[in-house]
Structure 1
Amino acid sequence: MYQLIAFDMDGTLLTNQHLIAPESQTAIQAASQAGKEVVLSTGRALVETTFYRQDLPTVRYAILASGALVYDYQEEKVLAKQAIPASIVDIIRKQVAEEDLMVVAMIDGQVYVQASHVEGIAAYHMSPYQSLYHQVAVLVENSCDLLAQERNHFEKINLYHRTKEARDLTYQLLSQESITIVKSEVSGVEVTAKGMEKGQGLGFLSRLLDIPLAACIAVGDADNDESAMKVAGLGVAMGNANDRIKDLADVVVADNNSGGCAEAIERYLLNNYPTKK
């Protein structure tokens, strides 16, 4: 019944140690050998996925930057991209200038972060990503300058705050604009162009590969997975997913540290295990 499965990364395909479990790798290999398509569906930029390519040799396609970039690893080619309007970037830059925000900005698959924010990353509740940013990010002196200089080129901008309350205020402010915005991590919001979500990216790939959305599975744990789970034929929530995503999902599997991704492949992609649908 199902021909494609799309995995979120953080909190889903990745364990809490930011690794792909051996059982997940084995299940993905089995799916590929059975002629199924396994794709990534992540809020990460392209450069943030490069560490995992050796563990995912059969994964060809990725929905990146929460749908704003779709990429073909085999051809090393961008298949689709949508930048945030410059006028929206100007509004974000004004907010960043007025508030104490950590900016993680993405341009053509590369990540840009202010160097001082990486050093003080704990204040923004993003410590698990410090090593990653040191390895893959372009560190800039000032985020506001970057937002001004590259205002036409951002596919995604993440804003991290010192408190959830400050995050919620930013969310309320930016929600008034013509954009796609979701809450993420402990204190972040993710901004993409209007309509640029994982669900849109999944729709693009389904057309490209001639696989009906009804034959697609979307697996995730957080709010930015909602759109993909809604358009897919089967929405799968991880055991560690937030309550809203669990309520939205058709089925719930084990958590990201307990083989949930392998379970999703074995039960629903390979064996058509009965679902709530």
Structure 2
Amino acid sequence: MTSAIGAPGGPSPSPDEHPQPHTHDDFAVTSPRLIATDLDGTLLRNDRSVSPRTIAALAAAEAAGIEVFFVTGRPARWMGVVAEHLAGHGMAIVANGAAVYDLRAHRLIEAFPLPGDDALAVAHALRAELPGTSFAIERPGSFRREPAYGAVEPDAGPPAPVDVLLAEDRTQPVLKLLAKHPSMDPDDFLATALAVAGGHGEITRSSETALLEVSGKGVSKATTLARCCAERGVTAAEVVAFGDMPNDLAMLGWAGTSYAVANAHPAVLAATTHRTAANEDDGVARVIERIVAARRN
């Protein structure tokens, strides 16, 4: 895959409209070629570590010829905890599908940006509707924020208003606009944002707090995963996906087999066809072990 910055292309995958949830103990007998898993709240434990059982399961999947893709809202610079578990290919889908990174080469493979005009339109609409909302900007090599957003890591520069941040460094694509509110219920915050600004980008959330993530229109974990799978000749039916939060819904709906971990958001539990144990109980690893065992038999 050559380096490129552009639109994701192709139709957006659609989630099942009437999924029939299975019980925690049900197991989909499949012969997948690719496993796609979210990280925080899904594959990783609550302390953000990868358990020994999960490490062993990921290695067993790759040894069995099943490719593993990490598909996360995290930026590439937060991928060190899992980078060594990507076997030979070293690539991950990050920033909710806005970028594909080669984590071993520390190289951006593809990016699907949020246009600056759309980012600014979302910011203005949210601030008008919900005073007190603050913003931050995620680019491939930097994180910048407004003063009220609060520091979460070393910033690439001093805090500044969102319109100033968006005007800076136009050579680097905007991967995500982040919006934070000090007191809103997280689900209400998302619903309001979709109502007043949904036409300007893909708005979702992956945090237990009132924190929204905005990507370019038509950009999601699902669209970028579908693109990567098509390049490998892998169909949706050959993909098993795992997730826990609203930003996973499109991916879980696209994959032929979808699992929610037991600790998942109610919307994810309602939209997936299978359950597994919580992230603290190695839920993803348990399913991978069964898949590998079924392949051997």
**Shorter-chain TM-score range:** 0.7 to 0.9
- Give, in whole Å, the separation in 2 of the partners of 1:197 and 1:9: 15
1:101 aligns with 2:119: no
Question: Does the C-alpha gap of structure 1 residues 93 and 244 become closer, same or farther in structure 2, counting only changes over 3 Å?
Answer: closer
For structure 1, which segment, 94-103 or 259-268, has the greater mean C-alpha deviation from structure 2 after superposition?
94-103
The residue correspondences of 1:104-253 to structure 2 (distance < 5 A) are 104-108=136-140, 110-114=142-146, 117-119=149-151, 130=152, 133-134=153-154, 137-144=155-162, 145-150=164-169, 153-165=173-185, 167=189, 168-175=191-198, 177-185=199-207, 186-253=209-276
Which runs of structure 1 show a deviation greater than 6 angstroms over 4 or more consecutive aligned residues?
none
**Paired residues of 1:71 and 1:77 also in contact (CA < 8 A):** yes
Spell out, residue by residue over 1:217-238, the C-alpha distance to the aligned partner (whole angstroms, 9 max, x if none). Answer: 1100011101111111111111
Out of 53, 70, 73, which is 1:23 matched to? 53
Are 2:126 and 2:197, in contact at CA under 8 Å, matched by a contact in 1? no
Pair 96,141 (structure 1): closer, same or farther in 2 beyond 3 Å: farther
The Cα of 1:68 is off from its aligned counterpart by 1.0
Matched, 1:40 2:58: no
Assess if the C-alpha contact under 8 Å between 1:43 and 1:65 holds in 2: yes
**Greater helix share, structure number:** 1
Cα distance change, pair 96–47 in 1 and its aligned pair in 2 (3 A):
farther
Amino acid at match of 1:142: A
AA paired with 1:154? V
Q: Is the 8 A contact 1:64 1:71 kept in 2?
A: yes
Gaps in structure 2 of 5+ consecutive residues: 1-30
Q: Is the 8 A contact 1:25 1:56 kept in 2?
A: no
Q: CA deviation at 1:58?
A: 5.0
Percentage identity across aligned positions?
25
Aligned length: 258
- 1:115 is displaced (CA, Å) by 6.2
**Aligned-CA RMSD value:** 2.5
Matched position secondary structure for 2:57:
helix
**Whole-angstrom CA distance in 2 between matches of 1:74 and 1:16:** 25
In the TM superposition, what is the alpha-carbon distance from 1:57 to its structure 2 partner?
Answer: 5.1
1:30-109 matches, within 5 Å, as 30-54=60-84, 56=86, 60-95=90-125, 99-108=131-140
Aligned residues of 1:69 and 1:155 also touching (Cα < 8 A):
yes
Q: Which runs of 5+ in 1 are unaligned?
A: 120-129, 273-277
Structure 2 counterpart SS, 1:15: coil
Query: For residues 52 and 139 of structure 1, what CA distance do their matches in structure 2 show?
Result: 27
User: How much does 1:47 deviate?
Assistant: 1.0
- TM-score normalised by structure 2 residue count: 0.78
**Structure 1 residue 212, shift from structure 2 partner:** 1.4
Tell me which of the two structures has the higher relative contact order, counting C-alpha pairs closer than 8 angstroms and 6 or more residues apart: 2
- TM-aligned CA deviation for residue 72 of structure 1: 2.6
Tell me if structure 1 keeps the 8 A contact 2:71–2:92: yes
Aligned equivalents of 1:13, 1:59: Cα separation in 2: 19
1:141-187 Cα offsets, whole Å, 9 max, x none, are 21422123246721211211112257243343212x23211133221
Match among 2, 12, 31 for residue 42 of structure 2: 12
Q: Residue 19 of structure 2 aligns with which residue?
A: none
